[in-house]
Amino acid sequence: MTKPTIVWFRQDLRLEDNPALTAAAQRGGPVIPVYIHAPQEEAPWAPGGATRWWLHQSLAALGKDLRAAGSRLILRYGDTLEALRALIRETGAGAVFWNRRYEPQAVAQESLLAATLLDEENEIHTFNSSLLFEPWDVLTKEGNPYRVFTPFWRACLHADSPAEPLSSPSRLTPPSRWPKSVKLTDLELEPRPDWAAGLRETWQPGAAGAMSRWQAFFEDRVGRYDRDRNRPDRDGVSALSPYLHHGEISPRLMWHALLQRRTTRKAASARGVETYMQQLVWREFAHHLLYHFPHTSDEPLRPEFGSFPWQEDEGQLHAWQKGRTGYPIVDAGMRQLWVTGWMHNRIRMVVASFLVKDLLLPWQAGARWFWDTLVDADLANNTLGWQWTAGCGADAAPYFRIFNPVTQGERFDPHGGYVRRWVPELSGFPGRWIHKPWQAPSGVLNDAQVVLGESYPRPIVDHAEARGKALAAFNQLKSARAANLRR
DNA sequence: TTTTGAGTTGTTCGA
DNA sequence: GTCGAACAACTCAAA
């Protein structure tokens, strides 16, 4: 009789297209699904508050899905190696299967685990469930990792297609006796005091929620994604990022559906489909970059940025975090993040540019805040996004590209619907002034019952002035580098 | 080895 | 109001 196989779940919280689970099921013996909560092993990037809330709901959903397949989800906490050893001992399992992760801490942890477990005469198999391509497979002709998106994108399109998605195993053989599991609440993932009301109203974590959101997006909206994706006042994006991060939907499943749609549908929707595929490849790019440049979650990819004259200002950082900068589009984004654990991508760029270029605060401070507040907090995506904005990353925005928060607001939230939704004290403001209330005539302010500096803040910096300072700071960096080169 | 073409997402200024 | 140019070189990837 085949010994039991342990399937160690992490960021692959689904049954469909889960290679480790399917392979374990195909061995024919009992399958023991387990999740081990060990945040100390992820330091300094242990899951933040919003992610932990999400994880709690997702583990509940995964447990339910496993029960429907005749199985269970065993929960443990503490040291991962010890937990796996204990399970092997308790169940007589002879093998541990898992889907790989690609972040530096996870890679190091996995190689140590694999070596130890192999040494103790267990069978180990690892799989790829989260990426379209392996980071070591997409390389330039020189054999180096790509640092520019467009050639990376072309290389992905020309590479062998990722494997077809696997269907869920219909039934998982249970062990003769289930090992003990702690209760989900024992993992203490949910916040106390409970601040998660906005998250609950916004999201349905878990594979079922992922699939219904994906299907709605794929049927109705992906065809005009190229046009609608920059409009935070519309439902133009897929909002699948938290599901992708936790592996509740398979990027391969999405990729194959998109590829097929691109070749069979008319040209009008092809552009939307391709633009969305590029977003999946950006996610891929981010993961490959962090794999190849593991220090970049904390340090700039371009070393000269190590001497950038970042400021330190707790008050301004706090105003940014809480959405009280006086720039409505920035404040709307930061409050959407605080309430829902998510922010529209266009607005992420706007608030990030504001932190880094208007306030000259270090991108790491922004990355850390996002890490704690986003339900989709993903080390690779977060790192790429912030380094891109700051100009110190791969294929980064040139330093003189400084977003004007008023222009961005007027262009992408032209009627002010997004601002009114998230900044209720401006809900009576007319569209013409909503992105620059400090310029509004006093009659407009009176009608909207807004007293600047009281009910809504005045701008904490003057953008034109801040822009000048940022350009000067970047110039300083440039001359410092030139001096270094001469030395 | 050298050369060449190209690079997610912007803003401002002046004609 | 609209348009093109300037912003500033630099690095990457491929031929």
Strand B and chain A: which residues 16-35 have CB closer than 7 Å? none
Which residue lies nearest B6, CA-to-C1' measured? A150
pLDDT tens per residue across all 487 residues of chain A: 789 999 999 999 999 999 999 999 999 999 999 999 999 999 999 999 999 999 999 999 999 999 999 999 999 999 999 999 999 999 999 999 999 999 999 999 999 999 999 999 999 999 999 999 999 999 999 899 999 999 999 999 999 999 999 999 989 999 999 999 999 999 999 999 999 999 999 999 999 999 999 999 999 999 999 989 999 999 999 999 999 999 999 999 999 999 999 887 666 788 899 999 999 999 999 999 999 999 999 999 988 888 888 999 999 999 999 999 999 999 999 999 999 999 999 999 999 999 999 999 999 999 999 999 999 999 999 999 999 999 888 887 777 889 999 999 999 999 999 999 999 999 999 999 999 999 999 999 999 999 999 999 999 999 999 998 888 888 777 666 655 554 4
Q: Are A47 and A191 in contact (CB under 8 A)?
A: no
Length A60 CA → B9 C1' (Å): 37
What is the signed CA dihedral for A430, A349, A58, A36, rounded to 10 degrees?
-150
Whole-angstrom distance, CA of residue A415 vs CA of residue A153: 35
Tokens 């103790």, residue located: A120
At the top level of CATH, which class does the domain A131-165+207-292 belong to? mainly alpha
Strand B and chain A: which residues 54-73 have CB closer than 7 Å? none
Give the contacts of A293 (CB within 8 A, at least 6 positions apart).
A145, A301
Number of Cβ within 10 Å of residue A67's Cβ equals 11
pLDDT of A487 reads 44
Which residue lies nearest B10, CA-to-C1' measured? A401
Q: Are A174 and A30 in contact (CB under 8 A)?
A: yes
Q: Which nucleotide is nearest to A230 (CA to C1')?
A: B9
Give the contacts of A109 (CB within 8 A, at least 6 positions apart).
A41, A80
Length A403 CA → B12 C1' (Å): 12
According to CATH, the topology of domain A303-486 is: DNA Cyclobutane Dipyrimidine Photolyase, subunit A; domain 3 (1.10.579)
pLDDT of A125 reads 98
Whole-angstrom distance, CA of residue A181 vs CA of residue A74: 5
A395 Cβ contacts chain B strand, under 7 Å: yes
Q: Where in chain A is the domain with CATH 1.10.579.10?
A: 303-486
Q: Where in chain A is the domain with CATH 1.25.40.80?
A: 131-165+207-292
Q: Which nucleotide is nearest to A384 (CA to C1')?
A: B8
pLDDT of A483 reads 58
pLDDT of A364 reads 95
Q: Which nucleotide is nearest to A283 (CA to C1')?
A: B8
Which residue lies nearest C7, CA-to-C1' measured? A400
pLDDT of A481 reads 60
A150 Cβ contacts chain B strand, under 7 Å: yes
pLDDT of A303 reads 85
pLDDT of A264 reads 76
Whole-angstrom distance, CA of residue A478 vs CA of residue A421: 41
Superfamily of domain A1-128: HUPs (3.40.50.620)
- For chain A, how are helix, strand and coil distributed in percent, rounded to 5? 55, 5, 40
pLDDT of A484 reads 55
Q: Which of A366, A417, A374 is nearest to A199 (CA)?
A: A374
pLDDT of A263 reads 80
The model's pTM is 0.96
For residue A7, give both structure tokens.
């399937």
